[in-house]
Amino acid sequence: MTFLEFLLILLVLYYVIYVLLWIVLDCNVALWYKSRFGVSLSSMRGQVVWITGASRGIGRALALSLARHGVRLVLSARRVEQLEQVQSECLAAARGLLAQKDVLILPMDMLELEKHQSHLYTVLNHFEKLDVLVNNAGRSQRANWTDISVEVDRELFELDVFSVVHLSRLVVRYFLEQNGGRGHLAATSSIAGFSPVPFSATYCAAKHALNAYLLALKVEQRKLDITIFAPGPVATDFLQEAFTGSQGTKVGLSTANQKRLTAERCGELFAVSLANKMDLTWCGLFPVNFLAYCARNSTLTKILAQFMTEKTLNKIREGKL
């Protein structure tokens, strides 16, 4: 065997293993690597992380993962009782690393843009700093493309895009004034934010738009750390609240018995993405993770499109395949 042949075999082997990892892992390879060998979550101890949509689901799971390592938290959402519940869960998970004053409950409706600035002041008055803003509050959607009213398009963008951009602008201004532009901004996007899925047109567009806003910011503010975390199907109650095509109605379904990544695992992977300041990460069980990889490659996307009907894609995203 010549040296060249040897190199070729190594190269082929590398790709075979790489693609195998797309199948067996529940997140992108770089994120899995960092979860094993990267910066540990305890490096974030003492930092102040503000999480929106922290009353349940992915936001709650992220809060618990961070609390375990002594990260100080601001928990925001509309429902105060749920936030109080999450606060006590965080304190229990922290096992002495955090006191009550280290987990601040900050009730807020993301849609009340005029109150964002005073909410930021509340955080800064309490902790005297903010290290990371995690924009996680959001609502999904189930509807046929042709049935969606423009009012729903607007409402969904108002919550999943404009409210996030508005709050982020205030925080980035604070980073610029206080830290010369250093700071960390994160958002829960979705795999639907870079690969279209059926029956969620407005949601797909909104997460694509959110990604674009953050990527455009990164080009202007090089010192800023930006994390776009893109989950595939996760076992939360989000379908209860999801938009349909008509205004004022919600999907109101449960995700029980569907094959979905647990919220706990999702929160843990989100925390690893933050600790390692990763710019784009995603997670999801097979075949979601595999498809997410293919979606990042235009050649593979075209090949896959030959085999994927909207029915198959929908089964995958509803955890039925």
Ligand X SMILES: *[C@@H]1O[C@H](CO)[C@@H](O)[C@H](O)[C@H]1NC(C)=O
Q: Please give the Cα distance from 88 to 125 (Å, whole number).
A: 22
Least distance in angstroms from the C-beta of 60 to ligand NAP: 7
Least distance in angstroms from the C-beta of 142 to ligand X: 4
Residues 275-304 that bind ligand NAP (CB under 6 A): none
Are 204 and 230 in contact, with CB atoms under 8 Å apart? no
Least distance in angstroms from the C-beta of 306 to ligand NAP: 26
Q: Please give the Cα distance from 185 to 179 (Å, whole number).
A: 14
Near ligand X by CB under 6 A: residue from 42, 297, 309, 312: 297
The answer to whether residue 293 forms part of the interface with ligand X (CB under 6 A) is no
3-class DSSP state for residue 168? helix
Long-range contacts, 103-109 (Cβ 8 Å, 24+): 103/67, 103/72, 103/73, 103/75, 104/73, 104/74, 104/75, 105/75, 105/80, 106/50, 106/74, 106/75, 106/76, 107/76, 107/77, 107/78, 107/79, 107/80, 107/83, 108/52, 108/76, 108/77, 108/78, 109/78
Between residues 47 and 135, which has the closer beta carbon with respect to ligand NAP?
A: 135
Residue 144 interaction partner, one of ligand NAP, ligand X, none, beta carbon < 5-8 Å per kind: ligand X
Q: Which amino acid type is present at position 255?
A: T
Binding mask 51-80 for ligand NAP (x = CB under 6 A): -xxxxxxxx-----------------xxx-
Residues 122-161 that bind ligand X (CB under 6 A): 142-144
Least distance in angstroms from the C-beta of 96 to ligand NAP: 26
- Listed in sequence order, the residues at least 6 apart from 265 whose beta carbon sits closer than 8 Å to its beta carbon are 26, 283
Asked if 33 is an active-site residue, the reply is: no
**Residues known to be catalytic:** 203
Write out the residues near ligand NAP by the rule CB under 6 A: 52-59, 77-79, 82, 108-111, 136-140, 159, 188, 190, 231, 233-234, 236-238, 241
Interface with ligand X (CB under 6 A):
142-144, 199, 297-300
